[in-house]
Structure 1
Amino acid sequence: MRKIQIVLLLIVSQIMFSQVKNTDELYKTAKKLDSLIFDIGFNACDLSHYDSIVSDDLEFYHDKGGITSGKAAFIASIKNNICGGPNKVRREMVPGSMKVYPLYNNNVLYAFIQEGEHDFAEFYKGKWNKGSRAKFTILWILEDKNWKIKRVLSYDHHL
């Protein structure tokens, strides 16, 4: 009887705390936010919306570039290094790699974790050249009823 209870507990906990399906509304929200940060911000260099989706106390940990602390430093880093450099950089999500995990407090959604892999390319000498692939983990949190990027891990960069 005890073994059955343990097995049932494991099954229920797996269902309750597993990633959401890609048809779930939270997954769609994560894709939209990812697009705002990367497709529109990083790739197109339109940073006008960053103020509303980046937390004031953002922490960004990068295995090659170190730590970036705070919204202002993060926006300046994208503006100066990605958008203002001599060679343009593009980021693309690896298809099928994104996973989203909801976080609850007393059955109320307060945050989610987005993880996946992305590829980078650099434009120089008139063409896009393959760069690195890396893994990422992002903590999105509800602040004043709006999703904000709060913590970021970008790691395992390799060719």
Structure 2
Amino acid sequence: MKSKLLLVLALGIFTISCVSIRAKSEVTVVKKATYIPVDQELYNTIVDLDKRFFDAYNTCDLETQNELLSEDIEFFHDKGGLSTSKTQIMEAMKNNICGKVTRTLIDGTVEVYPIAGYGAVQMGEHKFYNNQEPSAKSIPSKFVTIWKNDNGNWQMTRIVSTHKN
């Protein structure tokens, strides 16, 4: 009888422990608040500029890409490192991107915030597709772009590109 009581007690403690551990290990999901632009006109301007640049990127319009990249560009890529030469960046796009890679913006991911006296910061997610391997899977990646407004002439001055894999 004593051994049955100890067994029931041990099973009870074990069950309570398991429930307690499970309760502590559950992940809490916090829903991100819906983004609302602080300046709708600025948001529209930056989204239009992003579209203009990447339409050019997707169609190998190097002239438009060159126009939208600042001479003092800094491009930070988590896998490729830092590039600061506009000439080298343009050459790399010509040799490695034109006709080979397509970028799509992921709807609903773009956020734009003003930078007083400078321009704006854009953040979002996009995908790149290798046109040489149409069945290859594309994983969303994050980006941050700093846009400088020089009397209505907008250019990208800093770009940060990261990947999940």
Task: Provide TM-score, normalisation by structure 2.
Answer: 0.71
Shift of 1:79: 1.0
Moved more, 75-84 or 135-144: 75-84
Match of 1:95 in 2: 107
> Do 2:74 and 2:157's aligned partners in 1 also have CA atoms closer than 8 Å?
yes
> Do 1:55 and 1:70's aligned partners in 2 also have CA atoms closer than 8 Å?
no
Distance in 2 of aligned mates of 1:56 and 1:76: 14
Identity fraction in percent: 37
Match of 1:62 in 2: 77
Unaligned 5+ runs, structure 1 = 1-17
Q: Aligned runs of 1:65-84 on 2, under 5 Å?
A: 65-83=80-98
User: Is 2:159 aligned against 1:143?
Assistant: no
Q: Aligned runs of 1:83-122 on 2, under 5 Å?
A: 83=98, 88-105=100-117, 110-122=118-130
User: Is 2:33 aligned against 1:27?
Assistant: no
String of CA shifts for 1:52-101, please: whole Å, max 9, x gaps. Answer: 221101000001111111321221121111116xxx21111111000000
> Do 2:57 and 2:65's aligned partners in 1 also have CA atoms closer than 8 Å?
no
Equivalent position amino acid for 2:111 in 1: K
Distance in 2 of aligned mates of 1:144 and 1:51: 18
Equivalent position amino acid for 2:164 in 1: H
Q: Equivalent of 1:158, from 154, 160, 164?
A: 164
> Do 1:58 and 1:149's aligned partners in 2 also have CA atoms closer than 8 Å?
yes
Shift of 1:19: 6.2
What RMSD over aligned residues (CA atoms) do the two structures have, in Å? 2.1
Unaligned 5+ runs, structure 2 = 1-34
Q: Which has the higher helix share?
A: 2
Q: Equivalent of 1:51, from 66, 86, 104?
A: 66
